[in-house]
Amino acid sequence: VTDILIVGAGGAGLSAALAAQETGASVKVITKSYPTRAQTCMAQGGINAALGIQDSPKYHMDDTLKAACGIADPVAVQSLCEEGIEAVRWLDRVGVPFSRQEDGNIAQRGLGGAQVKRACYAKDYTGLKILHTLYDCCNAEEIEILNERFLLELIVCDGRAVGAVVLNIKTGETETYYAKSVILATGGFGGLYGKYATNATNTTADGIAAAWRAGARLSNMEFIQFHPTSLAKSSVLISESARGEGGYLVNAFKERFTDELAPRDKVSRAIYEELQKSGAVYLDIRHLGEAFIEEALPQERKLAKLYEGVDPASELVPIKPAAHYTMGGIEVDDKTQSSIEGLFAVGECADHRVHGANRLGGNSLLELVVFGKRAGKNAAAYAANNMLTCSKKECQEDILSRFTGHDKVGFYEQKEHLSEIFYKKVGIKREAKGLQDALEFVKALQAKLPKMGIKDTNKVYNTELVEFLEFGNLLAVAEPVVRAALAREESRGAHFREDMPLSKEEYQARSIFVAGETLFVKDGVKQ
């Protein structure tokens, strides 16, 4: 039996693996893809840390709490901001090639909602460089990583998580892994918005849905961050670093209309409104000059050329807001343990109570490392103190036959429909009627799910099967998202209700989805 089973090999999973291994515990990591393909590698703009002399953890904390609109936990935010400094120093020591100032110190750029330049970066490949460095470290430590293993269900015994049942995508067989503690690091659920999201297409809530099915509480699921600048045609992200370095937003009349570096919820709403008024919004970085763009924003330039057919050095870049980050997730305590004993969660799949209603750019990469290390250490301590008493049994299931058959109807069209509904009715602006329509749509789709299935009957590398499982997971979390959005009868941060545009004191609380019901909890007390 492994001490710690980690599901997910993005920045959060790999940080947790390194910290757990350092305690002497045995660690096994599984991932449905390959570590180098985790969404973390798409992060461009930077990772926050108050390194500069004009900055301090207190300023970082103030900015984070302000963006969070009153529902982040100051204690959790304080630890993120204070421990963030050592987290970035550690990344530097283990080899992340951060861009440098002339004096050799790590260079930092401004991102929205930050009062000083705080985001450390590696050109605009920050997540890629961090992920590859962490993966190198895991390989050097000989941490066992099993690729192409899809988490199906958690094994919970007497209220305690003791392992997982997994589909081996290569063979089509199910495998059972027991462990003394389990860490979920499976990423968020931006995939709900399909082509209207900047996310990797396989960001599909798998860990959140598995935890929820096992009885875990979910937190703040209604808060979905829309990034202001994705390419108009493809939703591919153009990082905030483009505005951080001095880029402008202009409307169809080439006029600036908003503070480009306000928090993301405000900028996204301003763009959304401007798109409705003038019909087009562009990012303008031409004045930064070709040499600077090539040096500081090379990836942004390549992406704009490739996916929009424009060169930002000489042309305006058409943009629109797109779903980008899911602030909510599995509820965890200060040790990153979920409401299920022995089950830890970290990274975008968890709600560490630091983002509240709106995440500050650069704070997600930071949370992966700070809380990833914390999850690894705490899961190891838990494993050291708790023997595995559960009797083990192999769970062999022919899941292929469950989803194939001549009577099964396809799901791809429904998946697309779900994302359309979410973008329109559970998007940047929401109101009761649209949310109610979305809920009815989700309930109807859930009822149809048993009749849906796949055509491909091959066991080996059945990607249709994997995509169907992902669709089921998205559909599972769709309900808590809409229910929480309906229950929160106010506007706050990324959750903007056109029918209730003001924030209300009674909702200055986290929403908790448990046993099909949404509760509001403040300082641990039900409201």
Q: How far is the CB of 229 from ligand FAD (least distance, A)?
A: 11
User: Should residue 462 be labelled a site residue for ligand FAD when binding is judged by CB under 6 A?
Assistant: no
User: Should residue 364 be labelled a site residue for ligand FAD when binding is judged by CB under 6 A?
Assistant: yes
Residue range at the interface with ligand FAD (CB under 6 A); choices 98-106, 196-204, 331-339, 443-451 = 196-204
- Taking residues 130 to 149 in sequence order and writing x for each that binds ligand FAD by CB under 6 A, - otherwise, the string is -------------------x
**Count of residues near ligand FAD by CB under 6 A:** 44
Dihedral angle sign, alpha carbons of residues 339, 62, 489, 471: negative
Residue range at the interface with ligand FAD (CB under 6 A); choices 53-61, 335-343, 346-354, 417-425 = 346-354
Token representation of residue 345: 């969660």
In terms of CB distance, is 183 or 509 closer to ligand FAD? Answer: 183
The H or E element containing residue 321 is strand 317-326
In terms of CB distance, is 43 or 500 closer to ligand FAD? Answer: 43
Q: Is 227 a catalytic residue?
A: yes
User: Should residue 375 be labelled a site residue for ligand FAD when binding is judged by CB under 6 A?
Assistant: no
Contact with ligand FAD (CB under 6 A): which of 50, 69, 85, 237?
A: 237
In terms of CB distance, is 238 or 249 closer to ligand FAD? Answer: 238
Q: How far is the CB of 523 from ligand FAD (least distance, A)?
A: 26
Contact with ligand FAD (CB under 6 A): which of 3, 348, 351, 479?
A: 348
- DSSP H helices, 191-297, are 206-213, 241-244, 264-278, 290-296
CA-based radius of gyration for the chain: 22
Q: With helix as H, strand as E and coil as C, how does 414-478 read?
A: HHHHHHHHHHHHCCCCECHHHHHHHHHHHHHHHHHHHHECCCCCCCCCCHHHHHHHHHHHHHHHH
Q: Is 353 a catalytic residue?
A: no
How far is it, in rounded angstroms, from Cα 333 to Cα 342? Answer: 12
b/e code 209-230 from CB counts within 10 Å (16+ = b):
bbbbebebbbbbbbbbbbbbbb
User: Should residue 33 be labelled a site residue for ligand FAD when binding is judged by CB under 6 A?
Assistant: yes
Q: Which of residues 406-445 bind ligand FAD (CB under 6 A)?
A: none
Q: How far is the CB of 283 from ligand FAD (least distance, A)?
A: 15
Q: Which of 149, 160, 243, 374 is catalytic?
A: 243
Q: List all residues 6 or more positions away from 111 whose beta carbon is below 8 Å from its beta carbon.
A: 45, 46, 48, 118, 119, 240, 241, 244, 261, 360, 361, 362
Whether 353 contacts 222, CB under 8 Å: no
- Per the rule left: phi > 0, alpha: psi between -120 and 50, beta: everything else, 389 is alpha
Q: How far is the CB of 406 from ligand FAD (least distance, A)?
A: 28
Residue range at the interface with ligand FAD (CB under 6 A); choices 33-41, 271-279, 297-305, 451-459 = 33-41
In terms of CB distance, is 231 or 288 closer to ligand FAD? Answer: 231
- Per the rule left: phi > 0, alpha: psi between -120 and 50, beta: everything else, 158 is left
In terms of CB distance, is 47 or 421 closer to ligand FAD? Answer: 47
Whether 179 contacts 3, CB under 8 Å: yes
Q: List all residues 6 or more positions away from 481 whose beta carbon is below 8 Å from its beta carbon.
A: 189, 192, 221, 222, 224, 328, 426
Question: Sheet of 517-522: strands edge to edge?
Answer: 350-351, 329-331, 218-219, 510-514, 517-522, 525-526
How far is it, in rounded angstroms, from Cα 143 to Cα 139? Answer: 6
Q: List all residues 6 or more positions away from 272 whose beta carbon is below 8 Å from its beta carbon.
A: 226, 321, 428, 429
User: Should residue 13 be labelled a site residue for ligand FAD when binding is judged by CB under 6 A?
Assistant: yes
Cα angle vertex 297, ends 368, 53, to 5°? 60
Q: Which of 118, 132, 227, 324 is catalytic?
A: 227
User: Should residue 332 be labelled a site residue for ligand FAD when binding is judged by CB under 6 A?
Assistant: no
Contact with ligand FAD (CB under 6 A): which of 127, 263, 434, 472?
A: 127
User: Should residue 47 be labelled a site residue for ligand FAD when binding is judged by CB under 6 A?
Assistant: yes
b/e code 279-305 from CB counts within 10 Å (16+ = b):
ebbbbbbbebeeeebeebbebbbebbe
User: Should residue 351 be labelled a site residue for ligand FAD when binding is judged by CB under 6 A?
Assistant: no
Which residue in this structure is represented by tokens 């929403």? Answer: 511
Contact with ligand FAD (CB under 6 A): which of 5, 6, 11, 383?
A: 11
Contact with ligand FAD (CB under 6 A): which of 3, 10, 319, 323?
A: 10
Q: For the chain, how many residues are written? A: 527
Token representation of residue 509: 């609380």
In terms of CB distance, is 251 or 363 closer to ligand FAD? Answer: 363
Q: What amino acid is encoded at 494 in this protein?
A: A
Residue range at the interface with ligand FAD (CB under 6 A); choices 18-26, 295-303, 364-372, 403-411 = 364-372
User: Should residue 376 be labelled a site residue for ligand FAD when binding is judged by CB under 6 A?
Assistant: no
User: Should residue 258 be labelled a site residue for ligand FAD when binding is judged by CB under 6 A?
Assistant: no
User: Should residue 203 be labelled a site residue for ligand FAD when binding is judged by CB under 6 A?
Assistant: yes
Q: How far is the CB of 402 from ligand FAD (least distance, A)?
A: 17
Q: How far is the CB of 210 from ligand FAD (least distance, A)?
A: 7
Q: Taking Cα atoms as reference points, which of 36, 25, 282 lies closest to residue 141?
A: 25
Q: How far is the CB of 176 from ligand FAD (least distance, A)?
A: 14
Q: What amino acid is encoded at 523 in this protein?
A: D
User: Should residue 45 be labelled a site residue for ligand FAD when binding is judged by CB under 6 A?
Assistant: yes
Contact with ligand FAD (CB under 6 A): which of 72, 76, 77, 151?
A: 151
Q: How far is the CB of 520 from ligand FAD (least distance, A)?
A: 25
**Binding stretches for ligand FAD (CB under 6 A):** 7-13, 30-33, 38-40, 42-47, 126-127, 149-151, 185-187, 198-199, 203, 206-207, 237, 239, 325, 347-349, 362-365, 368
Which residues belong to the active site?
A: 227, 243
